[in-house]
Amino acid sequence: MSTDSLSDRLHTLQRDSAALLQRAVAEYGDVIYSTSLGIEAMVLTDLVYTFAPEIEIFTLDTGRLHPETLDLLDRVERRYKQRITVFYPDTRAIEELVRNNGINGFYLGLEERQACCGVRKVEPFMRAIRGRKAWVTGVRREQSAERAQGEAIAWDERYSMWKISPLLDWTEKDISDYVKAKALPYNPLHDQGFPSIGCAPCTRAVEPGADPRSGRWWWENPESRECGLQPRTRVIPIKPVKQSVT
Ligand code: SF4
């Protein structure tokens, strides 16, 4: 794929990120990437499929995603002519959860919400990464003070795997510029005020300038708003980018 439309800065970022992904493949062989299908994931997916296609990409379908997110998954697969592995929650666990708490039980309280995230997200994710050697993440330095000190390759105690972070030095603007320059597909909900996009009942649009975290699990105490997959960080709002047609 041509990279002629990239600025010098984006060329450099792309080159360095691609080199890191290729080094991870050479060193660990068994590298996976769990795409959230968010805007940074569109950049990482492009880098993986263009420069390190040995890396397997998977995603989680919680059963409560926006239709736009599933459409995006289809568009990404068609653009790259690749199949992204989709992991689903355990059927019996979902049935028991809904029997006990109701179809929208996550609104009842923190315990019920975390139980839902546990069944729909955490268990499938742990099943997907079991036995793997390294995983790719989309963390960036500007997202938090802790991430500012991050290493491109680091041991991840939480999952007992090597963690590869190719976007560490990318800024929010770099992400937006790259998506535009390469006309990458992305979720149209970003243009409707959704800074991050998760399950439909637990994600909402926010006003310009509002705390992006107010768009996730807004009925809870801000300190509890995490799903158990990634430590909580400040979510940076995404500047709208032109929608691509793929
Ligand atoms: S984000 Fe909401 S619907 Fe999705 S798994 Fe968590 S509680 Fe359930």
Q: Would residue 202 show up in a list of annotated catalytic residues for this protein?
A: no
192: amino acid identity, one letter: Q
pTM comes to 0.88
Give a yes or no: residue 234 inside a domain: no
Alpha helices in 81-205 (DSSP H): 91-101, 110-117, 123-129, 145-148, 172-181
Mutate to test the pocket of ligand 1, among 36, 106, 197, 232 (most ligand atoms within 8 A of CB): 106
Q: Kindly report the CATH number assigned to the domain that includes residue 61.
A: 3.40.50.620
Give a yes or no: residue 136 inside a domain: yes
Give a yes or no: residue 230 inside a domain: no
In the chain, how many domains are there?
Answer: 1
Name every protein residue with a CB atom under 6 angstroms from any ligand 1 atom.
62, 64, 106, 113, 116-117, 120-121, 198-199, 201-202, 227
Q: Which residue has the tokens 């002629």?
A: 4
**Cα–Cα dist 96/119, whole Å:** 10
Give a yes or no: residue 113 inside a domain: yes
Q: 147 C-alpha vs ligand 1 centroid, how far in Å?
A: 25
Owning domain of residue 92 = 8-224
Burial of 2 (0-12, 13-18, 19+ CB in 10 A): exposed
Q: 93 C-alpha vs ligand 1 centroid, how far in Å?
A: 14
Total residue length of the chain: 246
Give a yes or no: residue 96 inside a domain: yes
Give a yes or no: residue 232 inside a domain: no
Give a yes or no: residue 104 inside a domain: yes
Q: Is the dihedral of CA 134, 135, 138, 139 positive or negative?
A: negative
pLDDT tens for the 246 residues of the chain, in order: 445 689 999 999 999 999 999 999 999 999 999 999 999 999 999 999 999 999 999 999 999 999 999 999 999 999 999 999 999 999 999 999 999 999 999 999 999 999 999 999 999 999 999 999 999 999 999 877 778 888 999 999 999 999 999 999 999 999 999 999 999 999 999 999 988 889 999 999 988 878 777 888 888 877 776 766 754 333 333 344 333 333
The residue whose CA is least distant from atom 3 of ligand 1 is 199
Smallest CA-to-CA distance from 33 within 160, 169, 177, 166 is with 166
Give a yes or no: residue 2 inside a domain: no
